[in-house]
Structure 1
Amino acid sequence: MSDALPADAVHLGLDLGTQSVRAVTVDGTGRLLGAASRPLTGRRDGVRHEQDPEQWWSALAAACRAALTGVDPRRVRDLAVDATSGTVLLADPAGVPLTPGLMYDDRRADAHTDRVNTLGAPVWDKLGYRAMQPSWALPKLLWLLHDRARPGGAAPPAGARLLHQADLITWRLAGHQVPADASHALKTGYDLVAERWPEAELDALGVPAGLLPDVVRPGTVLGTVCAAAAEATGIPAGTLITAGMTDGCAAQIGAGALTPGAWNSVLGTTLVFKGASPHLVRDPGGVVYCHRGPDGTWLPGGASGSGAGVLAARFPGARPADLDALTARAAATGSTAVVYPLVGSGGERFPFRAPEAVPFTLGELSGEAEEFHACLLGVALLERLCFDYLDHLGAPVTGPLTFTGGGARNPYWSQLRADVLGRPARLPEHAESAVGMAVLAATASGATLAEAAGAMVRLRGELRPDPARTARLLPVYLGFVDALARRGWLPPAVAAHARGRARP
């Protein structure tokens, strides 16, 4: 263990999710000492999704007090914060919120997106993602600056600040504004290659000078916890505040997927991929984009419109025990029918973009168990296509693979996924965003992120693929690729690459 990572030091990880705030305390060996969460509520109205920023702080303070119960305050060294990507608000010069928090999936800024992509095209092309989506932070900032000033809203006062969700928390913790991290700033247009705001493009868009925060790399020490924050949260005054990352990157760190070619596949409501690359991965299709890691490596990733949410849609009201029973029955069917596991009505986002995509079924389904198995298999096939697409882009994909998310708790499903992929998969013990932030926080004392992850990320197991089953399922995968290509959703070059990689 590095001298900068004493076993008895305590690191605090803070995660601002959509439905809750979570705080964990972790020692230098990765042992979880305490954990607590507090709920968050929001408001949804069509394409709008808002939360009260003051609730973020009150919920976080309560979660911290609970997670620190029984922990010797003299052992607490540092902390880091992650939050949802693209969630923003305006605040006054004292850090008091002027607006609700516009959440990561809020799409009210659709009218500003074409202008953002026209004026910012050279930068977005250079950064590899080519175009911003309406839910990204920069279009939402333009909505806050312009649409909100119309009747029913008020123009922001002089000195207003644009804050990412994590920025409000680090401001409160330090007692004054501190820089944002480059991970949360990505969707506001921060240039990760030049490591600066693209001033000419932002000026052309009418973003006032001084509105945006300074930005530093994740892992940079921002300051220390002030006395007022210590009283509110129970975090000892003087604890180092480390610049964090977005929730997806935080989960990747928690899984230890940090070496070039390593990937973390997060199976939740949708399937999210996060990996590590020595070079920037540029995607002509605009479905993969890269964060930049604390050590300068690149962290490509993509978020699908498909995933485990298909089970809730097709089996509404099913309890965990019901899903366990369905899994056992599904495993016994031997069925190779496939459900394309699209969730919701927004189309597909990764490994291809097809807003018009809709669910479909390949093969005949006889009964509930076969339908359930077809959903499990559909997710596994889509997961393999994600890897084929990443390889098509030139991203390294042959490093260690980890499975995390709620879907990884289903042993049969995880083994099926490993078999379809034909590669081993690791199962981390505590793969969650808050733990990832505790690992990142530990770098404040001088350890590298790789050293911190090596000491603190624990595994609970590893899955090995069954070669015979992989071979049996290969024709099923190729049929799935062909079905997507026939519908015009999967580009021909990507389909050809997937077929080529499937050859022995």
Structure 2
Amino acid sequence: MTHEHEAWLGIDLGTQSVRVLLVTADGTVLGSGSAPLTGRREGVRHEQDPVRWWEALCTASRAALARAPGVPIGGLAVCGTSGTVLLTDGSGRSVSPALMYDDGRAAAEAARAREAGLAVQDTWALPKALWLLGEYGPGLRLAHQPDLIVSRLTGEPPPADSSHALKTGYDLHREAWPETALAQLGIPERLLPDVVRPGTRLGEVSAQAADATGIPAGTPVLAGMTDGCAAQIASGALRPGAWNSVLGTTLVLKGAARDPVRDPTGVVYNHRAPDGTWLPGGASSVGAGALAAHFPDADPSAMDERAAAFEPARAIAYPLVSPGERFPFRAPEATGFLLGDPADDAERWAALLQGVGFAERLCLDYLHHLGAPLDGPLTFTGGGARSPYWNQLRADILGRPARVPEQTEPALGMAALAAYGVSGAGALADVAERMVRVRTVLEPRAEHTARFAEPYARLVDALEERGWLPADVAHTARTRPHSDHGKP
């Protein structure tokens, strides 16, 4: 068991910043720090300088620890953006830029990997590994984003965690690299790291790293997970049937299940929890980014207040942030659309808010169609969850209760994972639930839920007519009842 006076350090390597939280076992945040990151975007290219990650961590960790000097730290874990990779030398130092999670220059390599029987998407880490191999040649090692930071913290290149290794082609069922397919692609064995489960002890903070970061020498370093999984831990959605809906620029649903959710289309894929259970999920391209695109200078709270007069709006939106959809259906050719003409900006805003809610409902319908467990609590997190009006609207559209936690940063999830890994006992869900503090529980209003049934059905029809939504999924969406699913 963990000591009640210890605190836990969670490190989140984001796209725009490195964020560090110092958290007690009961969820009290003793200190936080952040430092900005910048990258290079040109067309499909998106890369960052890995050296900047370490510099930013040093700044952020010192800021977090300065708020609570002398507090003993039980351990730390690091999360990063899923699919971000680079090449390193034998000592763990970077020798290439980092190809970020959405870098799309390895499309041809992704096609090759699919021909070899590996279900990968164009921006996943495995195609990027092939691209880097072509650019830099053999003799180097592939590292995921957290691997580089852990190497600097402990002084030696670590094994990767299986969560980050998933998009590099790691087989979570066999817990092994797919040797035959990788050999067919010409990937040398020494390119890829060993892999361990999240929560595995990787080493401890070295004296040199302690001088740079302020983290005490000897602090245990535990294997982390991707930022999406870290946010799921921070939401407390870890028991089978529980789901976390992360509404940011785009919409991501992540849940927990005893067995993997099988999806032959690959729309839903499964991470593996440290205890061997499964974390199914999918990422949509609808989200709050559509609001920013249509109303770059709007005051969201003022627009929310005006939008409340339009329930439902006469216009129906499918608010894609960028072309192509990945979940609840795969349609690379999909584009956002609006059915009908809003009377004014307030009704257009309402249509966008409701459109995200409809897409979220369709995601849950698709998960039901696949047989995923949905009978646990639903949690709302992400920037969109800062809007009380939108939260209630979404609960009404979904017809089920939803929880909104106080603190949902991925760094909190990593603090919980560190506490779990060091304790070596109990369940991650127990540790996370002690750290997660629920701020609000939203109950759906039946009369409001009923109002949205007809526009939701019209949207489903429109998606099916465009050839994007399969007929059997559309049938599930039309016939599945929506009233008070799940528990608060």
Superposition TM-score tier, normalisation by shorter sequence = over 0.9
Q: 1: distance between equivalents of 2:110 and 2:74? A: 42
For 1:5, the aligned partner's letter is: T
Q: 1:272 aligns with which of 252, 260, 263?
A: 252
For residues 50 and 69 of structure 1, the distance between their equivalents in structure 2, rounded to whole angstroms, comes to: 31
User: What residue number does 1:486 align with?
Assistant: 465
- Structure 2 CA distance for partners of 1:328 and 1:74, relative to 1, 3 Å: closer
Structure 2 residue corresponding to 1:219, chosen from 196, 199, 204: 199
Is residue 398–residue 482 contact of structure 2 (8 Å, CA) maintained in 1?
no
Letter in 1 for 2:423: S
Q: How far is 1:81 from its partner?
A: 0.3
Matched residue type, 2:14: G
Alpha-carbon shift at residue 73 of structure 1 (Å)? 3.8
Q: Distance in 1 between matches of 2:272 and 2:310?
A: 44
1:385-435: per-residue Cα shift (whole Å, max 9, x none)?
Answer: 000001111111121100001111111111000001110000011111000
In the alignment, which residue of structure 2 is the partner of 1:395?
372
Q: CA deviation at 1:115?
A: 1.3
- TM-score (norm. length: structure 2): 0.96
| CA deviation map 1:282-320 (0-9, x unaligned) | 2122111100000111001111111110101111233xx
Q: Deviation of residue 74 (structure 1)?
A: 5.1
* Residue 237 (1) aligns with residue 223 (2): no
Q: Deviations over 1:110-132 (max 9, x none)?
A: 1111210121x2xx4xxxxxx21
Q: Deviations over 1:158-202 (max 9, x none)?
A: 3x1100001001111111112110000000011101111111111
Indicate which of 309, 314, 317 corresponds to 1:339. Answer: 317
State whether structure 2 residue 293 is matched by structure 1 residue 300: no
Q: Structure 2 residue aligned with 1:137, among 118, 125, 129?
A: 125
- 1:7 paired to 2:17: no
What is the one-letter code of the residue matched to 1:180?
A: A
User: Aligned partner of 1:455: which letter?
Assistant: R
RMSD: 1.2
Q: How far, CA to CA, are the matches of 1:285 and 1:374 in structure 2?
A: 29
Given the alignment of the two structures, is residue 460 of structure 1 paired with residue 431 of structure 2, yes or no?
no
Which of 410, 423, 448 aligns to 1:445? It is 423
Instruction: State whether structure 2 residue 469 is matched by structure 1 residue 475.
Output: no
Alignment of 1:73-472 (within 5 A): 73=70, 75-119=72-116, 121=117, 124=118, 131-146=119-134, 148=135, 154-156=136-138, 158=139, 160-318=140-298, 322-336=299-313, 337-344=315-322, 346-443=323-420, 444-447=422-425, 448-472=427-451
Provide the rounded CA distance (Å) in 1 between the counterparts of 2:433 and 2:464: 41
Is the counterpart of residue 28 in structure 1 residue 16 in structure 2? no
Whether 2:45 is the aligned partner of 1:57: answer: no
Distance 1:209 1:369 in 2: 57
Using the TM superposition, give the Cα deviation of residue 10 of structure 1 relative to its aligned residue in structure 2, in angstroms: 0.5
Alpha-carbon distance in 2 for matches of 1:84, 1:335: 36
Verify the 8 A CA contact 2:106 2:131 in the aligned structure 1.
yes
Q: Distance in 1 between matches of 2:400 and 2:4?
A: 33
Letter in 1 for 2:240: P
Query: What's the secondary structure of 1:68's corresponding residue?
Result: helix
SS of 2:275's equivalent? Answer: coil
- Which residue does the alignment assign to 1:69? 66
Q: Give the unaligned 5+ runs of structure 1.
A: 125-130, 149-153
The residue that corresponds to 1:41 in the other structure is 38
Is the deviation greater in 326-335 or in 294-303? Answer: 326-335
Match of 1:128 in 2: none
Contact map agreement 1:5 1:452 (CA 8 A) in 2: no
1:302-345: CA deviations, max 9, x gaps? 11111110101111233xxx22111111112344232111112x
| SS of structure 1 residue aligned to 2:31 | strand
Unpaired segments ≥5 residues, structure 2: 484-488
Runs of 4+ in 1 over 3 A off after TM superposition: none
The answer to whether the Cα contact below 8 Å between 2:267 and 2:330 also exists between their aligned partners in 1 is: yes
Matched position secondary structure for 2:414 = helix
What is the distance in 1 between the residues matched to 2:310 and 2:124? 43
* Alpha carbons 1:57, 1:169 under 8 Å: kept: yes
- 2-structure distance, mates of 1:7, 1:396: 34
Shift, 1:364, TM fit? 3.1
SS of the equivalent of 2:82 reads coil
- Corresponding letter in the other structure for 2:143: L
Partner Cα distance (1:343, 1:436) in 2: 27
Q: TM-score, normalised by structure 1?
A: 0.93
CA apart distance, 1:503 = 7.5
For 1:195, the aligned partner's letter is: E
Aligned to 2:486: none
Aligned equivalent of 1:127: none
Q: In the comparison of the two structures, how many residue pairs are matched?
A: 480
Quote the Cα distance in structure 1 between the aligned partners of 2:87 and 2:394: 43
Q: CA deviation at 1:16?
A: 0.4
Secondary structure of the 2:18 match is strand
| Structure-2 change in CA distance of 1:280 and 1:33 (3 Å) | same
For 2:343 and 2:244, how far apart are their aligned partners in 1? 34
Query: Letter of the aligned partner of 2:59 in structure 1?
Result: A
1:94-139 deviation per Cα after TM superposition (whole angstroms, max 9, x unaligned): 11211000000001001111210121x2xx4xxxxxx211110111
**Residue 363 of structure 1: how far off its partner (Å):** 3.2
Distance, in Å, in 1 between the alignment partners of 2:45 and 2:158 is: 29
Aligned amino acid, residue 429 of structure 2: A
Cα pair 1:348 1:357 within 8 Å, conserved: yes
| Higher alpha-carbon deviation: 67-76 or 51-60 | 67-76
Q: Is the 8 A contact 1:264 1:402 kept in 2?
A: yes
Tell me the amino acid that sits aligned with residue 34 of structure 2.
S
What is the distance in 1 between the residues matched to 2:6 and 2:424?
Answer: 13
Using the alignment, how far apart are the partners of 1:274 and 1:5 within structure 2? 27
> How far apart in 2 are the matches of 1:463 and 1:217?
35
Displacement of 1:71 in angstroms is 2.3
1:22 touches 1:38 (CA, 8 Å); kept in 2? yes
